[in-house]
Structures are given as structure tokens and as C-alpha cells.
Chain A
């Protein structure tokens, strides 16, 4: 009798486990595996205005495609004067042709005018028109990207990381791209290639999150705040600000003209100083991706390889990443998606070594020639 009951109980337990596995897989599918069709919110573009305005939705991909065709020829004549003359001069020149054809007052220009973010500084970083594209450096008349690879030891463990030092004269050179494939995911280098990206990293994976402020290329995608996430906003004037959770004021952000807003975090620097406590539960060694801000027009993308013990790279703790961004001289820094998602592409190839071969990403942050 006892063995008979034990058999029945065994069958019930197995049936329960099978049902639970099905339930768990179903939840995982609907929670973060099933493709979600999220599109930019209609009529909410911040381009060319300090507040959201009713306008046609710009198509960043289409405009980016133009820049990939002739990245060198379109920019030298427009941006070369900005190196020697005040930044505003270049901006006015490029603003006129983009605004002149628009008769309807309700329509905003689809691309920002060149603002000369660096104000003539770092002139040696740019060329007079020619394009220099080596294994570690890209220079043109409006964009400079310098890739450096570092192998260091942090707390007795090896760490491998890449820094993309970025100088741009126009905020439209630092763009984001969102995957339009059926499953909302693409490889970082493929997304970069599609959009003419010189260097690219993954973004904040916002399509697969249910909340969190998301603004891409001046276009509002989602305006709901995540209760536990810090927010990073890159404004059209080139400044970047990070906000702790609970201190995000959407109205003030909208009023200042945001160009990008990421919701992942945490914030890595406080008043330019490294932090010790972070708004995250993933503080241990991991592959990391972060964006840093020095001044308008000068940024960096940092990619830390990890989970590849014992010889290559362990990754970084959040505190160590904060110190790294501080040592790089950043005034603001923000952590983007990490883990298997973290990877950096340059010159159309993945240059980092993502753990487990990496995974596809739904969005990227990339540097390209400006839209105008």
C-alpha cells in the first residue's frame, strides 16, 4: 500500500514539475523573449525645439543612410570653418538650408543644425576634410574617435577594457539606432553598419523593458519612469546629466531639449567624483558598458570585457567602473546594459570579446558623421 502511494505521489510531483517548467518557460517567453512592437510615440519629437512639438516622425535610419553614402564629402565644406571660426558660425550656415524649404510652420527640421559643440577646441583632432580611418583612429572634419585597448589588474584579477574617446562638433554625430528586425534584435556591428556607425556599443535594451524613459535621436519612445532606475539624458546642447531614481523631473528634462535618454544605470559619478553606493543589485564583477561625458562635444564609450576567467578578463565591479570613469576624467558617467549584451564595434567589426559570444541587442549607441 505504501509503495503504491509513493508511486502515485511521484507521478504527481513529476507532473507538477513539468507543469511548473511549462509555466516558467511561458512566463520567460512573454516577459522578455517575445518580440515587442514598440514604435516612437507619435507627435513627440524634441528636434529643433526645447519642448515636444507636433511634427512628422523623423526617420533616423533614412537620414543615417545618407551619411553612409558619402560621409566625407558632405561634411568638410560645412564644418571646416568651424575649426577656425566660432562655433555659432558653422551652425548658422548649416541651419539655413535645412529650414528654408519647410513652408509649413508645424514641421520641424528633421536634423539638428551644426552647433559646433566644442567651440573650436581640439582642432588638432580633426582634419581639413580628408578621412583618416585606421585600426584605432577615425578622424574627419567633424568627428574624431580614438580607440584604446587596456589590460590591467584590478584587485588581483585581470581586466580587459576598451575606451572610445569621442570628439564631435555636432550632437547628431552621437546617435542611437533601434533594431527594426522581426525579433527586435540585431548584432551591434550590423546595426552600426546599417546606420553608418564608426564606433558603436549596445544601448540600454529598452525595447525589452516595460518601463523607463526612452528618447532616441530627439524622438520620445516611452515616457514612463522606472521606479528603481537612474536616468541619463544627453541634451541637444551637448551636455549630459544623470539623475538618481526618484529625482527625475520629466517636464524639466523636456524643457531643456533632450536628444537621448537612457534608463538602465546606475549613475556612476556624483559631481564628478566616484561613488561607493549604487542603485543596482548587480555590483559584482561583470562585463560592463558605460558612456562618459567630459564636456559638450567630448564623450567616451567604455566597454569592459568580463566573465572570462582566469586569464583574459573578469569584468569590473560597479565601484571599480565608477573609479575608472573618474580616472578617465569624466564629469558624468552612466552604466548601460552589460553582461552578454556588452560589446563594442569599430570599423564594422566587434572589437571586444563578449562573454559567451555575446547576444544581439535591440538598440545601440554609435558615432557617425553628422546628419547635416
Chain B
């Protein structure tokens, strides 16, 4: 499956990066939501329960993987990136 921009799934690593980024984003928003409602009512233990701790660990794991993939992708030299960008524009 090949397409433009967001839906270019030709590269498996790219697909994984996109999916991981979205999962990380959703987990981060969920943690922010829990942070806010925990301030409203801390008796519900939204930030201190066992499940919340697993959520934090999951967020950290996904953030770590996403960050590593981004670093690896950006590791190449600028000329190569420019060539890749030009090639994607032509496609």
C-alpha cells in the first residue's frame, strides 16, 4: 500500500512510527486527563492507583520507543534526508 504524506505505508518502520506516535499521544492525553480530575477529587486515586502506575509505565515505554525511532530516522546526514524529501515530493 503506497500513498502520499500521512498514508504512505510503503515503509514498515514508518507505519510503526505513525502508530506508536498516535498511541503515545493518546496515552499522554489520558494521563493529562487523569491529572486534572485527580486534582478535582483525589479520593478517586486516579494518579496513585496500581492501574495508573501501569499506565505511566506504558506511556514511558511507548514514548521511549517512539523517541528512539525518531532519533534513528533523523540520524542520517542532511543531504540524504533532502534527497529522500525530494523523492517523496516527486512521488
Contact = CB atoms under 8 A, between A and B. Distances in A.
Interface of A: 5, 8-9, 12, 16, 19-20, 23-24, 27, 30-32, 209-211, 226-229, 264, 280-282, 337
Interface residues of B, number: 25
B11 interface: no
22 contacts: A5-B5, A5-B6, A9-B6, A16-B22, A16-B25, A16-B26, A20-B29, A23-B30, A24-B30, A31-B51, A31-B52, A210-B48, A210-B50, A210-B51, A211-B49, A228-B42, A264-B43, A281-B39, A281-B40, A281-B41, A281-B42, A282-B40
A316 B68 CA distance: 51
A337 B43 CA distance: 9
A209 B50 CA distance: 10
B20 interface: no
B5 to A, nearest CB: 6
Given A8-B6, A32-B44, A281-B42, A27 B51 contact: yes
B16 interface: no
Contact of A227 (B6, B26, B46, B48): B48
Interface string B34-75: 100001111111101111100100000000000000000000
A67 B8 CA distance: 73
B33 interface: yes
Contacts of B44: 32
A229 B44 CA distance: 11
Contacts of B46: 31
Interface of B is mostly: helix
Contacts of B27: 23
Nearest to B33: A24
Given A16-B25, A229-B43, A27 B30 contact: yes
Contact of B43 (A12, A30, A227, A282): A282
A222 to B, nearest CB: 13
A12 B22 CA distance: 9
Interface in B5-25: 5-7, 22, 25
B48 A211 contact: yes
Given A5-B5, A12-B6, A27-B51, A209 B45 contact: yes
A266 B34 CA distance: 22
Contacts of A211: 45, 48-49
Given A19-B26, A23-B30, A31 B43 contact: no
A210 B45 contact: yes
